[in-house]
Structure 1
């Protein structure tokens, strides 16, 4: 990436995402943030959950609009607010992803409620509840496609949706494109039973020459309890094949790699 484009990316952040009394983003942080957006733009991920700063949804919307002015993005992205969280969404990719997920026989959900000694497959009543919630989000996103057709090309659309009945940890797992998602009964406790559980951790990375020849960007990181890995092995392997197919369809990232590690942590925050 040449110096002018780097300056454009840094300027886009400084212009739209600055928070008073907070340190400005470093150049590296600006470039990493752009890489996150680029993975959504080139359909390697359906959405990106913005967690770089407490910026408001309208600030993030303006930031993406600034990125579009650089000509580095090829698609009109959407800003989706869910309670106090903001996701940057590739509408077409996310809709296809949710439609395919909902067509599967049973959603790949792991129940990690604190009342269990070990994580387990979620019961049918849980998966059906989550399915209904995903269907509502899918319907909302489809309505945004219709609305987008009425807007001027190049604009960044935005919308909001939320229900207090939703377990956002679970829904974000699906919206972010993970092959499996965790669930816990948050009405009883926000704790979980993953403390010191043996987890198989998957990390997916690639280089992005458009940003830097030497900077490796982590696109995905998720875990599955080792005790349940065989139950979800086919789902994860299919997810990996689909991701490789998508990777081969784009040219922004190169040298795809996936690493697998076994970890135990005294506390896991979901």
Structure 2
């Protein structure tokens, strides 16, 4: 189905296989979103790809493209608008890794509340879309320069634990030399013994020891 994109070479075909895996996971509710960082397709091509897959009834009509940031060079990804709009955003744990801190900590309540409001506004926009068949919708997630885009990426992908840092003071963080516990969900296709990473995220080991409920 991806052959019409004209991918040539081992590297390009490998990227298209990754796109197929990600779309399968999103379409079947195994993953919330896919940040389009594979680099072999433009935003317009990604939209045409979804249109083609929808016409063949291979993916749901609710799959949309999300532009994060709203500027000329904003990143984009794909998600299921109904699934994203329906998920409980308040279950996400936000960890403050600002450069000014001696060690990571949970984000302060007022910042958490602001993040929840930002996420809820996008969810409302997702749920308001017309779910009937038609050209793939492109949604803009407009945010100001003071918000941490790393956090938005984590929320979009669906990580249960997401890092945040104060971008108004520094683009750095305090994770250097901090031991991390890595959690990974892997996808194992049928009729194969190999598996591929679907979601991978980390939690500072010290914070996990202090608050073990973070990983639940």
TM bucket (normalised to shorter chain) is 0.7 to 0.9
1:49 correspondence with 2:39: no
Which residue does the alignment assign to 2:77? 87
Find 2:5's aligned residue among 10, 13, 24: 13
Contact 2:208 2:214 in 1 (8 A): no
Which residue does the alignment assign to 2:19? 33
State the Cα distance separating 1:234 from its structure 2 match.
Answer: 2.7
Which residue does the alignment assign to 1:157? 137
Q: TM-score, with normalisation over the residues of structure 2?
A: 0.86
Which residue does the alignment assign to 1:139? 124
1:171 correspondence with 2:152: yes
Which residue does the alignment assign to 1:205? 186
State the Cα distance separating 1:235 from its structure 2 match.
Answer: 4.4
Contact 1:35 1:208 in 2 (8 A): no
- Cα distance in 1 for residues equivalent to 2:52 and 2:39: 17
- Cα distance in 2 for residues equivalent to 1:35 and 1:232: 34
- Cα distance in 2 for residues equivalent to 1:39 and 1:60: 16
State the Cα distance separating 1:231 from its structure 2 match.
Answer: 5.1
Once superposed, what is the RMSD of the aligned Cα atoms?
Answer: 2.3
State the Cα distance separating 1:206 from its structure 2 match.
Answer: 1.8
Q: TM-score, with normalisation over the residues of structure 1?
A: 0.70
Q: Counterparts in 2 of 1:184-203, with a 5 A limit?
A: 184-203=165-184
What are the ranges of 5 or more consecutive residues in structure 2 without an aligned counterpart? Answer: none
- CA deviation map 1:14-46 (0-9, x unaligned): 37xx9xxxx784323211210011110001112
Q: Counterparts in 2 of 1:243-258, with a 5 A limit?
A: none
Find 2:199's aligned residue among 208, 217, 220: 220
State the Cα distance separating 1:50 from its structure 2 match.
Answer: 0.7
- Cα distance in 2 for residues equivalent to 1:207 and 1:176: 19
Count how many residue pairs are aligned between Structure 1 and Structure 2: 211
Structure 1 stretches of at least 4 aligned residues deviating more than 4 Å after TM superposition: none
- CA deviation map 1:250-269 (0-9, x unaligned): xxxxxxxxxxxxxxxxxxxx
